[in-house]
Amino acid sequence: MTQKINTIQDILTELKNSLENKEASLEAKIIVETVLNLESSELISNSQNQLSRNQIQKILEIRDKRNSQKIPLAYLLEESYFAGLKFFVNDDVLIPRPETEFLVNQILEEIKERKIHQPTILDLCTGSGCIAITLKKALPAAKIYASDISQAALNVASINAKRHQAEISFILGDYLDPFLNISTSPIAIPIIRSKPPYFDIVVSNPPYLTKEEYENLEPELYHEPKHALVGFPYEHIKKQILENNLLKENGFMAFEFGFNQKTKLEKIFPEARFYKDLENNDRFLIN
């Protein structure tokens, strides 16, 4: 099979015919573009370009891993797009989801509506840093903190912040602990030496699945870290934010949640506004 592959067109055809998933055609293009470091438009104009043996081997290796182990393509290529920006990802972080872009847009709208200038924002459970970094790009004057319980995730987020020249303070810790007096975090951060309220906005796309939902996921999702998917205690977090006066007077919380969790969350956040994602699933709240 490999002897017949000489050009970009040949490898695209080979991948389209042999990738074992519904999106074979799209994935073929993404793999070839990424390995050859080409823009989408260049694939067509260079379709008759010859490939080196190494390039062909690398592309076919990715195809084989994708087929045999069902590893998400973003992990194999170590990159993913969010809000038009390219993010480094590995299996220490959740692959950024397109619906989360809507959460970022909604926050920007809300900031305008509330006339908040130079906001201080906490991105709780930052993962790859996609929310914190896109907010910083949109609001250069904002002060942004981004926290996660996983140092490995924060390492990925720091790489992305450098890549996009976004100045963000990264904090290691269990949910809000680093911002509370009861903090057990061994890391001293300047913010806890001042008095609350600290934040105009606390945003999170947290690990929102329940244990039962986790048991019934598509196989590919089990490649993502379990602690990135399961367990966020919305009620407890809301209570901690309010009781510890973490939000400024005109401030707000913005949370993503699972598409079937609205009923439960309406009870916890009776004053919140709820939003749907582009697929018409209930997905976000602003409170």
Ligand X SMILES: C[S@@+](CC[C@H](N)C(=O)[O-])C[C@H]1O[C@@H](n2cnc3c(N)ncnc32)[C@H](O)[C@@H]1O
Task: State the minimum distance, in angstroms, from the CB of residue 128 to ligand X.
Answer: 5
- Beta-carbon count within 10 A of 260 CB: 11
Q: Which stretch binds ligand X (CB under 6 A): 106-114, 127-135, 234-242, 274-282?
A: 127-135
Q: From CA 234, how far away is CA 134, in angstroms rounded?
A: 24
Q: Which residue is nearest to ligand X (CB)?
A: 127
Q: From CA 247, how far away is CA 214, in angstroms rounded?
A: 31
Task: State the minimum distance, in angstroms, from the CB of residue 48 to ligand X.
Answer: 39
Q: Report if residue 227 touches ligand X, rule: CB under 6 A.
A: yes
Q: Report if residue 164 touches ligand X, rule: CB under 6 A.
A: no
Q: Specify the DSSP class assigned to residue 95.
A: P
Give the one residue of 174, 236, 239, 273 binding ligand X; rule: CB under 6 A.
174
Closest CB to ligand X among 8 and 146? 146
Give the one residue of 192, 201, 228, 265 binding ligand X; rule: CB under 6 A.
228
Give the one residue of 30, 59, 125, 241 binding ligand X; rule: CB under 6 A.
125
Q: Which stretch binds ligand X (CB under 6 A): 8-16, 104-112, 143-151, 188-196?
A: 143-151
Task: State the minimum distance, in angstroms, from the CB of residue 3 to ligand X.
Answer: 42
| Size of the chain, expressed as the number of residues it contains | 287
Of 241, 204, 200, nearest to 115 by C-alpha is 200
Q: Report if residue 175 touches ligand X, rule: CB under 6 A.
A: yes
Q: From CA 205, how far away is CA 283, in angstroms rounded?
A: 10
In the range 67-96, which residues lie near ligand X by CB under 6 A? 93-94, 96
Closest CB to ligand X among 100 and 287? 100
Q: Report if residue 257 touches ligand X, rule: CB under 6 A.
A: no
Helix 8-18 to helix 53-69 angle (10° resolution) is 10
Q: From CA 201, how far away is CA 208, in angstroms rounded?
A: 19
- Beta-carbon count within 10 A of 216 CB: 7
Closest CB to ligand X among 205 and 287? 205
Task: State the minimum distance, in angstroms, from the CB of residue 149 to ligand X.
Answer: 4
Task: State the minimum distance, in angstroms, from the CB of residue 114 to ligand X.
Answer: 22
Give the one residue of 207, 247, 268, 286 binding ligand X; rule: CB under 6 A.
207
Beta bridge partners of 120: 143
Q: Report if residue 241 touches ligand X, rule: CB under 6 A.
A: no
Give the one residue of 12, 73, 83, 126 binding ligand X; rule: CB under 6 A.
126
Q: Are 176 and 240 in contact (CB under 8 A)?
A: yes
Q: From CA 79, how far away is CA 31, in angstroms rounded?
A: 11
Phi-psi region of 78 (alpha: psi -120 to 50; beta: other; left: phi over 0): left
Helix 24-36 to helix 53-69 angle (10° resolution) is 140
Encoded tokens for 152: 């490995």
Q: Report if residue 128 touches ligand X, rule: CB under 6 A.
A: yes
Binding site for ligand X (CB under 6 A): 93-94, 96, 100, 125-128, 130-131, 148-150, 153, 174-175, 205-207, 227-228
